[in-house]
Structure 1
Amino acid sequence: MDLAWAAFDAAALRLNYLYRLVDLTTDTPADRAQRMKLAGETARLWDEWRMLFLSDSSGDAS
């Protein structure tokens, strides 16, 4: 499970880095396509985080 969390963290850091490279003030078709691609990756990472969180039993509050 730790390896899965480490892979998720690496992907999240990469996504954060990629967002820094995107110019959010322009609205060309290429810029919109890049933002949509990153939005899709954000949704994928959210689903992956949720799956990891729900399957990780090491954080039980019992």
Structure 2
Amino acid sequence: MIRLAAATSPVDLAWAAFDAAALRLNYLYRLVDLTTDTPADRAQRMKLAGETARLWDEWRMLFLSDSSGDAS
């Protein structure tokens, strides 16, 4: 695991974190049943949406400031 962290760029790590959060959020929305949805359920989705947006902003900042020129 240490080798992976050393070989993976901060941009790629930030993308992986964002991607995982976005997939979790998408999964939660697929499971929404409006007949049984509660304020607590909505609050959980809003919290995850906020975290997903934060991770996107973090990735974007790293990506735009990456001087390596490697966008892949």
Give the TM-score taking structure 2 as reference length.
0.49
Structure 2 unaligned blocks of 5 or more: 1-10
**What is the deviation of 1:59?**
2.1
Which aligned runs of 4 or more in structure 1 are off by greater than 6 angstroms? 1-25
Which whole-Å CA distance do the structure 2 matches of 1:60 and 1:33 have between them? Answer: 38
Q: Indicate conservation of the 8 Å contact 2:18/2:55, yes or no.
A: yes
Question: What is the percent sequence identity of the aligned residues?
Answer: 98
Query: Whose helix fraction is larger, Structure 1's or Structure 2's?
Result: 1
Deviation string 1:20-49 (CA, Å, 9 cap, x unpaired) is: 999898410110000000000011011101
Aligned length: 62
Deviates more, 1:23-32 or 1:3-12: 3-12
Change (3 A) 1:39 1:23: farther
Larger radius of gyration: 2
Gaps of 5+ in 1: none
